[in-house]
Structure 1
Amino acid sequence: MSRQTANRTRKLTTMAMLAAISIVLVALIHFPIIPGAAFLEYDPADVSILVGTFLFGPWAGLALTAVVSVIQGLTVSAGSGVIGILMHFLATGVFSVLAGSLYQKWHTRKGALVGLLLGSLAMTAVMCLCNLVFTPLFMGGTAKDVAAMLIPIIIPFNLVKALGNSAITYLVYKPISKLVFGREEPVLTTSAK
């Protein structure tokens, strides 16, 4: 087996394991974090996606997001249907592409922190828009009803969820990287430091 084939096999196997871990995490760990909004539950499923993004780049992270969104939306989160799949793909997709692109450009701990922070903010913004558009379709009500929930519920929930998952990702990424690659991960771009 050539080195290139071995690397491709490692990447696909690792991404499959990360997708499976993401589904298991959302099935086992989910709980409300905003009083009065028990329907919004924290779960650490995006940690696996973000680890995959940092390991293999932003487009691999987006592919992982697509796979996880569909599997999760058809199994453990089936109640949210197609709208849930789409919202998860858009929010986590923006997060992983932004965080992964910044980490790819600045392949340092600081680059990871900046990517995770900006990704968290982008995910929160996307979820505000998604909730304004899709929540009235899914749960009834109007966009005005949803807009009234933005500041007290939707924004804090998404910030806490995204920043929490970012913190976990930041803590577990390097050990996982060493496990996957047997050493520090390879530099993703020539401009990395």
Structure 2
Amino acid sequence: MKIKTKQLTQMAVLAAMSILLVYLIHLPIIPAAPFLEYDPADIPILIGTFMFGPLGGLILTGVVCALQGITVSSSSGIIGVLMHFFATGSFVLVAGMIYKKNRTRKGAVIGLALGAVTMTITMVIWNLVFTPIFMGIPIDAVIPMILPMIVPFNLIKTGVNSVVTFMVYKSVGKVLGMEIKEVKLADK
């Protein structure tokens, strides 16, 4: 993937937006698990994915994870950086690959929906790996958290971020000087 100066600038703006959003908005949504905080940081990353494709989105994810890990989320350390990369990276790859093949509103909806499901499943696995290390608890204490906390949290977070992304991705692309083109398909 050859990155031009304009694309690099657009990606930098999206990365900055992502960091700013997580700095301004982060709140627990499941009272029993206050460490699981919603933030809208994935919205600019998903917009970047629709603009630059799945590889561009993954690069943007890596940059944002690193920057967020040394700034606004430094308390979560390397585990937080890795969890964020695996979560958002899985979402971005699936949503980006689907949208790249089907650049329509329907393709965006399907990509975002399947990306959300993929991220939720991915985070079940990675929470089983990293939460015992991060929280210093046995895996047997994490397993009961999966269905009542981890799955609903990830579905809510990805659902909200998907809806907002769908509503604003074309407008943000235009503001950044890159219209997100969709292919018009004949109604069948």
TM-score if structure 1 supplies the norm length?
Answer: 0.91
Instruction: Determine whether 1:104 maps to 2:100.
Output: yes
User: Which letter maps to 2:12?
Assistant: A
RMSD (Å) for aligned C-alpha atoms: 1.7
Instruction: Determine whether 1:38 maps to 2:46.
Output: no
Quote how far apart the aligned CAs of 1:177 are: 2.0
* SS of residue in 1 equivalent to 2:4: helix
2:180 match: 185
The runs of at least 4 aligned residues of structure 1 exceeding 4 Å deviation read none
* SS of residue in 2 equivalent to 1:57: helix
Question: 1: CA distance between counterparts of 2:45 and 2:184?
Answer: 22
Question: 2: CA distance between counterparts of 1:20 and 1:178?
Answer: 17
1:81-130 per-position Cα deviation (integer Å, ceiling 9, x unaligned): 01110111111001001101100000000000000000000001111111
Query: Is the contact made by 1:53 and 1:61 (CA closer than 8 Å) also made in structure 2?
Result: yes
Q: Unpaired runs of 5+ in structure 1?
A: none
What percent of counterpart residues are identical? 55
Quote how far apart the aligned CAs of 1:192 are: 8.2
Q: Unpaired runs of 5+ in structure 2?
A: none
Aligned residues between the structures: 184
User: Which letter maps to 2:180?
Assistant: E
2:59 match: 63
Question: 2: CA distance between counterparts of 1:118 and 1:192?
Answer: 22
Question: 2: CA distance between counterparts of 1:64 and 1:86?
Answer: 14
Question: 1: CA distance between counterparts of 2:43 and 2:106?
Answer: 18
Query: Is the contact made by 1:128 and 1:154 (CA closer than 8 Å) also made in structure 2?
Result: yes
